[in-house]
Structure 1
Amino acid sequence: MKTLFIMIAYIALSLTSDSTIPPCDKCYDNEDFQIKSATITRNKELGITVWEMKVKGKAGATTPKGVGKLNGAPVLGYVFPTTLKPGDVGFSDTEGIVALALTSHPDFDDTPMWDENFDRNFSNDGVIWHPHWVVLNEDKRVGGGLSVKQFKKGDPKVTLPANNPGMEMYMDSPGYNVVTKENSIRVIVPDYRISNKTDFKFDAVACYMMVDTGDAPAGEAMGSGDKPMLGVYKVYSVASGNLSLPYTVK
């Protein structure tokens, strides 16, 4: 827990940083990513929690402009950092911040079990808002101060949930239903998928992320391999203002 709060303190200092900002940062810095409120509400009768962010603009209306390849692919996210433990959502024990990220990215599909646009093609709907469980760690290489935690392929100590997309990151594609309406984006999470934990704290972040595969030609931006596979490059807004994770499940 001490490590968690040290990470949060560093990340809070990074929220105003202008370092390592991608070229299209300002393309998405609009009211659709200015968070007004964040709640997680439990429905005991149905055994679910409803995670919701409300923004100044229209939630989910802005999606990334594709670049036509995986390296440098933009990812937009509405992210709920939490005090849940990795084991609560199916990962092996590891240090980091467990977060539920609602994401959109047109250049790739990382939900192989789910067909979000109902066209019977399971590999063409990355742009549709969908959820991921991730474990985040501090990363000074990117302006947002965070990246999805990576591991070496084949590491026997690492366990991922069954719906993971097959990348060497602590990431899962749980397939929960995401709904956008007017200024609200919501996702429904069954209690048993978080080990029936409802006493955790959380925050909400809207941000720009980007993929770096490390295989771009020499001199190409973000392609040198010295960046994380999926890093947070720009934070647009934080519900609490300082990423203190002050909110509780209602």
Structure 2
Amino acid sequence: MKYQRNRLAAVFTVLAMLAAQQAGAHAVSAKQGNVKDASFDIVNAEISVDAEKNQLVFAMSVAGTAGAVKPKKTGKFEGSDVFSYVWPTKIDPSEVGFDKGAGILALAVTTHPDFDDTPLFDTKGNDWHSHWVVLAPDEACGKGALKVKDIPAGTRPKLPKTWPGVPLLIDSPGYAPRFAASTVKVRVPFDDVTNFKGVAFDGVTAGLRVGASPHQPLLCVVNVFDVASGDLSLPGKAE
């Protein structure tokens, strides 16, 4: 009898472990210790579907304190730096107000002391804030590098209502990021969040830099600190 009880206990333990693994199967776990600054050393990235509140919940955990490190102020717009926590996704850009198929839609939590790109919301200078951005490769930023997609002069792409007025495919929707120790989290509302169950994503920490000209390109990813998957393969699934 004792043997049977122990065996049953072992079976239930294994089942519980499997259930826990499946519950977190949508997340992307990352290798630790490969980033100099622990504030950008990704441990875990995930997107959860909160059907009750009709929200996608973007979360990222790092080895250090999330949001602790910010760029140094340069005193000018051109050449200034942007630090970011980014979730590249396979959500089509048209879902948030851009043209269909415009590029890689990503949610980014950013900070930059030298300029304000949230005219409709008070971010108190250097505070962290959220953006939707459309990313695209551009060799002008470096071999294999990405940029926030520029709006060519004289063109009129479809843009969200909270577009901040800069010549980039960027939106400033005002979704407030929440920092708690090692984790940053953002809740994003949608009309029907169930449309995004299973959508692919990844997690990235990166530094971007403002270029010298509005169209040459304006905002390049110049330093990728960490990629949750290691290869930007977007293995995560929103669940």
Band of TM-score, shorter chain: 0.7 to 0.9
Q: Which has the higher helix share?
A: 2
Kept after mapping to 2: 8 A contact 1:77/1:208? yes
* TM-score (structure 2 length as normaliser): 0.80
For structure 1, the 5+ residue unaligned runs are: 1-27, 118-124, 216-224
Map of 1:40-189 to 2, 5 A cutoff?
40-117=47-124, 125=125, 127-143=126-142, 145-156=145-156, 158-189=157-188
Tell which deviates more after alignment, 192-201 or 48-57: 192-201
**AA partner of residue 223 (structure 2):** K
Per the alignment, residue 233 of structure 1 pairs with 222
Write the letter of the residue equivalent to 1:176.
Y
Question: CA 1:102/1:150 → structure 2, altered by over 3 Å: closer, same or farther?
Answer: same
Secondary structure of the equivalent of 2:191? Answer: helix
Q: Which runs of 5+ in 2 are unaligned?
A: 1-34
- Deviation readout 1:188-235 (Å, 9 max, x if unpaired): 1112287943331100100010001339xxxxxxxxx8x520000010
Q: Deviations over 1:83-114 (max 9, x none)?
A: 01110111022442111111000000100111
Q: Which of structures 1 and 2 has the bigger CA Rg?
A: 2
- TM-score by structure 1 length? 0.77
Partner of 1:30 in structure 2? 37
Count matched residues: 204
Matched to 2:94, the amino acid is G
Runs of 4+ in 1 over 4 A off after TM superposition: 193-196
Partner deviation per Cα, 1:6-50 (whole Å, 9 max, x = no partner) = xxxxxxxxxxxxxxxxxxxxxx94110010100111211111121
- Alignment-mate amino acid for residue 205 of structure 2: A
Q: Provide the rounded CA distance (Å) in 2 between the counterparts of 1:194 and 1:97.
A: 19
* Alignment-mate amino acid for residue 183 of structure 1: S
Contact persistence 1:88–1:194 (CA under 8 A): no
- 80-89 vs 136-145, which deviates more? 136-145
Is the 1:137–1:149 Cα contact (8 Å) retained in structure 2?
yes
Does structure 2 conserve the Cα–Cα contact (< 8 Å) formed by 1:150 and 1:168? yes
8 Å Cα contact 1:191/1:197 also seen in 2 = no
Alpha-carbon contact 2:49-2:193 (below 8 Å) kept: no
Contact 1:65–1:106 (CA<8 Å) still a contact in 2? yes
Q: How has the CA–CA distance of structure 1 residues 94 and 154 changed in structure 2, closer, same or farther, with 3 Å as cutoff?
A: farther
Alpha-carbon separation, structure 1, partners of 2:36 and 2:134: 25
Whether the 8 Å CA contact 1:82–1:98 is kept in 2: the answer is yes
Tell whether the 8 Å contact from 2:46 to 2:58 is kept in structure 1 after alignment. Answer: yes
